[in-house]
Chain A
Amino acid sequence: MTTTEMRRTAPRRRRIPVFCAGIAGLLLCIVLSLAFGARSVPVATVIEALLGAAQSRDALVIIDMRLPRTLVGIAVGAALGLAGAIVQGVTRNPLASPTTLGINAGAGLAVVTAIFALGLDRPVQFVWFAFAGGAAAAAFTMALGRRAGDLDPVRLVLGGTVLQLVLVSWTSAVLVFSERTLDEARFWLAGSIAQRDLAALAPVAPAMVIGLLIGAAIAPALDTLALGDEAAKSLGAPVARIRLAGACAVVLLAGSAVAVSGPIAFIGLAAPHLVRPLVGNSHRLLLPSCLIAGPLLLLAADILGRLVARPSEVEVGIVTAFLGAPLLALLARTREVR
């Protein structure tokens, strides 16, 4: 508790430089994301292309393929980062993440089922199924995690784990059953922002915006919640209603992210942990910071995925899982987990 209070006040002087550094880092990632690929393009050409000055083939690649991909990456990363911060605030569990709620597994099963049953074959068509599947799984996990009208963090994590095992098993059943489905779905299931255009982002953009607005609205309430249920209640905070609103925001944000990109794990877990030591625990700062940290992490992982397997690439979801798994283990190890 004392360290929490210290953290909340100490870095005030550092805040502006930290924000500036974060934005600079994000800009750098954006530029690199535009410049790197199977064919690397000089930064000068990138800028010319963005300003509409260049007409070369490189400029076309940048404007038609890498720019949409980067924009999708920014949106998805921001949604995941924000969702992670909110879910950790709502459950008061630093190890919770949208994945814990089963959103990724639910979306995976829904998409695979849709491909199998309806014969879909383009990521743009998966959007609504992924969203609905993720939302349904999250709702179910939260129903499991409820106790005495409130969400119990331990039950939430355990229930989510079991639900994931089952959903993944059902997903693989469909994939074993239909080779065509496996062939269509395996790239989506890995989690990727390659070949995504703004048409995939458009349908869920409103959901993202609503999630963002809810997040902004409940940020002060999440600070009150951090004091503990008893204290929050005695201050007159409608604890259960705050949790419900937070949960809705998480479903909207993470659900739309997975709808666009497929399941990308660990961004939602890592972004809040990255910024907490820098800006403190107040959600009024934590949430906006995650809007920078999320895209930063996602684009960095995406660029890394393009670098390690050139001229091919490794899907960003696989990169984040490889990098995030040790991080989760480390957090589970160092945090006093009860």
Chain B
Amino acid sequence: MVVETTTPRVTPLIRQRRRAAGLIAVCAVALVLLAILAIASGEVRMPVPSALRAAFGIGDPGEVYVVQEFRAPRLVAGLIAGAGLAIAGAVLQRLFRNPLASPDVMGVTGGASLGAVLVLAAGAGQTSIPLGALGGGLFAAILLGVLGWRSGLPVLRLVLVGLAVQAGLAAAVNLVVVRFPKELAGAAMQWTAGSLYGRTWPEVRGAVIACALVLIALAVQHRTLAVLDLGDESAATLGVAVSAARLRLLLTTVALASLAAALAGPVSFVALAVPHLVRMLAGPPTAATLAATGLAGATLLVGCDLTAQHLLPIEGLPVGVVTATVGAPWLLILMLRESGPAHRRNA
């Protein structure tokens, strides 16, 4: 016999909202702390107050220069790249209804790094890298679509075709690395490892503006995304042109992932792991959890970059190595659970 309790029960929806709000708050606080740390730490040590003052252009001109010209662009690049990758991963996983859909598994970030490397190889300079990355990412997405789509894209086929696309693109990057002179090969490797090293405003500005525009485009489409969650038929009944809407969302997401990759290189696992983490903590996707995903991605990437720069004893360690090392065990646990008994039953 179940006895009704008199204590007021929080409905799941409200609880979920509270959780999302809590997650956003925690991430925002963490991000602010990490940002302050990022601005204050480095080769030129400065106390936090003077670093903050320097960020606003007050104080010692040398400190202002270091903070504004070196640390700030790197921080902004990490923020935007982390948020962009995580949000792109969340939207892709939702669009494909597939927990493994993510720009790195689908070859999008691989395509972006091929684009970036080709731009480097053509000698076009750092500022045109976002364009190259965007082109490469879209190319990879089209390749994946053409090769993999056959009335849907189930998990394993997605992974395998994505693997194939990645392998082809990696071979292309390899070809560039082998063919071109040593210095260029070094720059290309730096890219493909995923690194925030040496970002300056001229490089970052274009990609940040583009990322912001794409994020706005995605926010505008968020309602469509929610309608698509109801299933194709329901969405069509509600007046959404399903295929066109999905394609539009897909292109927006791929653009977001490519531009994020342009800022930080193909940093692995952020796009794949962060949405899962947020879903575990804050429940099914809403606009609020998407915002939380963005913040969490930014926190993770900035945190990993700080770890790579200052905590680990290796100088010049690319942030992608840290994210891969942190993300892989987590992802493995997740995958092994995915391919557990439930998966076998569906197979």
**A329 and B148 contact, CB distance less than 8 A:** yes
Instruction: Say which residue of B167, B269, B347 sits within 8 Å of A265 (CB atoms).
Output: B167
User: Which residue of chain B lies nearest to A95 when distances are taken between CB atoms in the complex?
Assistant: B160
The distance from the CB of A221 to the nearest CB of chain B, in whole angstroms, is 25
Question: Which residue of chain B is the closest to A144 with respect to CB atoms?
Answer: B332
CB contact list, A266-295 vs B, under 8 A: 266
Please name the residue on chain A nearest to B194 by beta carbon.
A169
As a 0/1 sequence over residues 42 to 72 of chain B, the CB contacts with chain A under 8 angstroms (1 = contact) are: 0000000000000000000000000000000
Q: Looking at the assembled complex, report how far the CB atom of B273 sits from the nearest CB atom of chain A, in whole angstroms.
A: 11
Q: A154-B339, A165-B328 are in contact. Are A173 and B317 (CB under 8 A)?
A: yes
Nearest CB in chain A: distance from B249 CB, A: 23
Enumerate B137-181 residues with CB–CB distance to A below 8 Å: 147-148, 150, 154, 156-157, 159-161, 163-165, 167-168, 170-172, 174-175, 177-178
Complex interface bits, B86-128 against A, C-beta within 8 A gives 1, otherwise 0: 0000000000000000001100000000000000000000000
CB distance from A173 to the nearest CB of B (A): 4
Closest to B324 in A: A169
Dominant SS among interface residues on chain A: helix
The answer to whether B178 touches A328 (Cβ under 8 A) is: no
| Distance in angstroms between the alpha carbons of A270 and B242 in the assembled complex | 38
Segment touching A, from B12-20, B183-191, B202-210: B183-191
A158:B316 contact, CB within 8 angstroms: no
Cβ contacts under 8 Å, A318 to chain B: 171, 174-175, 178
* Segment with Cβ contacts to B, from A2-10, A62-70, A176-184, A209-217: A176-184
Which residues 314-347 of B sit at the A interface, judged by CB distance below 8 A?
314, 316-318, 320-321, 324-325, 328, 331-332, 335-336, 338-339, 343, 347
- A314 contacts B175, CB within 8 Å? yes
Q: Is the CB of A161 within 8 A of B163?
A: yes
Q: Is the CB of B160 within 8 A of A332?
A: yes
Are B347 and A158 in contact (CB-based, < 8 A)? Answer: no
Q: Is B157's CB under 8 angstroms from A322's CB?
A: no
- B299 CB–A CB distance under 8 Å: no
**Which residue from chain B places its CB closest to the CB of A165 in the assembled complex?**
B268
A170 to B175, CA, bound (A): 20
* A186 on the B face (CB < 8 A): yes
Question: What residues of chain B lie closer than 8 Å to A163, measured between beta carbons?
Answer: 328
Residue of B nearest to A169 (CB): B324
Q: Is the CB of A176 within 8 A of B318?
A: yes
Cα–Cα distance between A280 and B159 once the two chains are bound (Å): 28
Which one of B160, B178, B185, B321 contacts A315 once the chains associate, using CB atoms below 8 Å?
Answer: B178
CB of A1 within 8 Å of the partner chain: no
Chain B contacts to A: CB under 8 angstroms: 104-105, 147-148, 150, 154, 156-157, 159-161, 163-165, 167-168, 170-172, 174-175, 177-178, 182, 185-186, 189-190, 192-195, 268-269, 314, 316-318, 320-321, 324-325, 328, 331-332, 335-336, 338-339, 343, 347
The 9 closest A-B pairs by CB, nearest first: A325-B168, A321-B171, A169-B324, A329-B147, A328-B164, A332-B160, A172-B193, A173-B321, A329-B164
